[in-house]
Amino acid sequence: ILHQERRKSEEEVQEKIEHRDGKVEEVLTDGRRILTFHNGTKKEISVDKRTTTISFSNGDIKKIMPDQTVIYYYADAQTTHTAYPDGLEVLQFPNNQIEKHYPDGTQEIVFPDHTVKCLYSDGLKETFFPDGTVVKVEKNGDKIVIFRNGQREIHTAQFKRREYPDGTVKTVYCNGRRETKYSTGRVQIKDEEGNLILDKK
């Protein structure tokens, strides 16, 4: 089998040119060109000269597509970096994590568990969890958590607030004071020790 493969590969080479700098150029019968450099790097040029594949001695592979998309595979890290002509860059990691870097500065990270994190150029961070929970963190640190059941939680430096679908709102202030506003209009306020200081129905 090896003998047949060797004969086939020899038949493929139509012309072999050895350059003075040590570079070897092979023209294959199908029209592809393969340049082998003295350091072991190989450069393959497609028949239409629109696709170039460079194989480095360390195992890295760089492919330049007809639309000028550049795909680079880092062998050691087992990571693929794709740069598109419109400025989008995509990184694919061996654990199936995918990062997209957009020209406007936005980043989108898709984790192996399908959690998606978006980092916007204005400082806003949004995380979408597989269970439907969404977490938004503003540039100033304020955080909003939106749960699948319709509840919302708001965290700021001054308070933590939970809003329920029925209109009830529970707030805990940084000084420990607790306030509950029910959908019925009833308001309860407790001090930091939990003592009831107001119950307005």
Q: Does domain 10-86 have CATH number 1.10.510.10?
A: no
pLDDT tens for each residue of 77-87: 999 999 999 99
Distance (Å) of CA 14 to CA 24, 69, 112, 163: 13, 30, 47, 75
DSSP state of 42: E
Between CA 180 and CA 39 the distance in angstroms is 73
9-15 long-range contacts (CB < 8 A, ≥24 apart) are: none
Q: Please tell me the predicted confidence (pLDDT) of residue 117.
A: 98
Work out the percent of the chain whose per-residue pLDDT is above 90.
77
In this predicted structure, what is the pLDDT of residue 1? Answer: 43
pLDDT beyond 60 at 3: no
Q: Supply the mean pLDDT for the chain.
A: 91
Query: Residue range 117-146: average pLDDT?
Result: 96
Task: Give the domain ranges of the chain.
Answer: 10-86
Q: Is the pLDDT of residue 6 over 70?
A: no
Handedness of CA 54, 55, 56, 62 (dihedral sign): positive
- The least confident of 5-9, 11-15, 103-107, 160-164 is 5-9
Extract the tokens encoding 46: 């497609």
How many residues make up the chain in this entry? 201
The C-alpha atoms of residue 15 and residue 110 are separated, in whole angstroms, by 47
Q: Is the model's pLDDT at 105 over the cut of 90?
A: yes
120's CB contacts (< 8 A; 6+ apart) are 105, 106, 126
pLDDT tens by residue, 7-52: 445 558 888 888 888 899 998 888 889 999 989 899 999 989 999 9
Instruction: Give the per-residue pLDDT at 4.
Output: 47
SS3 116: strand
Q: Determine which helix (DSSP H) or strand (DSSP E) holds 3, and give its type and residue range.
A: helix 2-12
The confidence band for 129, taking pLDDT boundaries of 50, 70 and 90, is very high
